Amino acid sequence: MECGAPMRVVYVLTTLAVGGTERQVLAIAAHMAARGHAVALLVLKRREPEQCATDLDVVHLDIEKNAASVIGGLRRSIKFVRGFRPDVIHSHNFHGNMLARLLRLFYRPAKLVSTIHNVYEGGRLRMLAYRISDRLADRTTAVSATVALRFVELKAVPKQKCVMVTNAIDMAEFVPDPKRRVAMRAVMGVGEEFVWVSVGRITAAKDLPNLLQAFGNVCQVRAETELWIAGDAPAGGETSWAAVAAPEGAMDRVRRLGLRNDIAALLDAADAFVLGSAWEGMPLAVGEAMAMQKPVVATDVGGVRELAGDCGVLATAKDPQALAQAMLAVMVLPAEQRNAMGRAARARIIEHFSMDAKTVEWESLYRSMLPSVTGGSESTVLP
């Protein structure tokens, strides 16, 4: 391929349900399309009642958990790529990566990039599947150095084939707005209360009990505070909430907001962001909060430290008391000091994690694998 020529790229992911991985893939795909490349999405699952919106071409394979459905989905994907003729197939997370590697057996011309988004993508059988199928991928990328090193240690990915390309934040979408802050706080009915916000799909990784117990401890010290949680409800009902042993009255100060499409406005209204996860890759929500100039408190898991740098306060995972102490440390800071912390956080995102810069990085990586293109990409190779 001639250097600089438009490429044809297919992105493969499990679902378009609202989540960090999905929003990240859609943003990169949209930016690639804006740069003149032909882009399409292959989605393993059927359409969700509520899913990320996109103007890109999407093919749902409607795969369910049975062999006949998997075979049917594979056939549909083979037919699609043979018609689309991609130069690059870029897959994400375990199921997307496995389908793309199977697809490679039937369509050889495209180069295949597999991306791992989390330090934990399953147990030994899944790591064995990664190892056995590795020869079908041209390159494996990880969203943080912690994720990359973890999968190399597990021998799921060879060190020489693994590079790091971090997540990116769309700075045009996440811009602080003082007027929006005032308006949203009025809508939410809060005055001088200190508002914490946590954003993300509520899964085992997010460790909701850890967050709620920590907030309960905070409430015992600072009563005038609220916690807003934006994300879909726990699978199977109320178990994760009901199982939390929080101090009396603490849960009355927790607002369960469900799925929201106004995250920037919620972040504007909040005073700080908190994440209580047990494990992560490189959480997009932390970067978005930093872009919105919010002090960040988070558990020290996955790539959180790489993302936050010295612009956040980190706590040990699965330790509600440690998380509560970190939250209280931010709350007692003078407002100007918290504001300065937020400004430094936004500056860090602009310098290291902007969407435009990461799109160029992906483009460079794709081109480095294609015929007639010489030289390596700008991506970070493991030492």
Q: What angle (nearest 5°) sits at the alpha carbon of residue 45, between those of residues 40 and 51?
A: 75
Same domain, yes or no: 74 and 191: no
Residue 375 belongs to a domain = yes
Same domain, yes or no: 161 and 45: yes
Tokens of 18: 């609202």
Same domain, yes or no: 302 and 362: no
* pLDDT-above-70 percentage for the chain: 92
Of 274, 275, 277, residue with least CA distance to 318: 277
Same domain, yes or no: 189 and 328: yes
Residue 36 belongs to a domain = yes
pLDDT of residue 239: 45
pLDDT of residue 375: 45
Residue 1 belongs to a domain = no
Same domain, yes or no: 296 and 372: no
Cβ atoms of 114 and 100 within 8 Å: the answer is yes
Of 354, 355, 353, 359, residue with least CA distance to 7: 359
| Cα 327 to Cα 286: distance, rounded to the nearest angstrom | 15
* pLDDT-above-90 percentage for the chain: 83
DSSP state of 161: G
Same domain, yes or no: 333 and 278: yes
pTM of the complete model: 0.87
Sheet strands (E) in 45-127: 57-60, 88-92, 111-116
If pLDDT is split at 50, 70 and 90, which confidence band does 377 have? very low
Same domain, yes or no: 313 and 196: yes
pLDDT of residue 251: 84
Same domain, yes or no: 271 and 311: yes
Q: Domain of 43? A: 8-168+354-381
Residue 121 belongs to a domain = yes
Give the number of domains in the chain.
2
Residue 3 belongs to a domain = no
Neighbours of 113 (CB within 10 A): 26
Q: CATH no. for residue 100?
A: 3.40.50.2000
Angstrom CA distances, 221 to 106, 250, 325, stand at 61, 11, 10
Same domain, yes or no: 161 and 46: yes
Residue 173 belongs to a domain = no
Tokens of 79: 């037919």
- Per residue in 123-157, pLDDT tens? 999 999 999 999 999 999 999 999 999 999 999 99
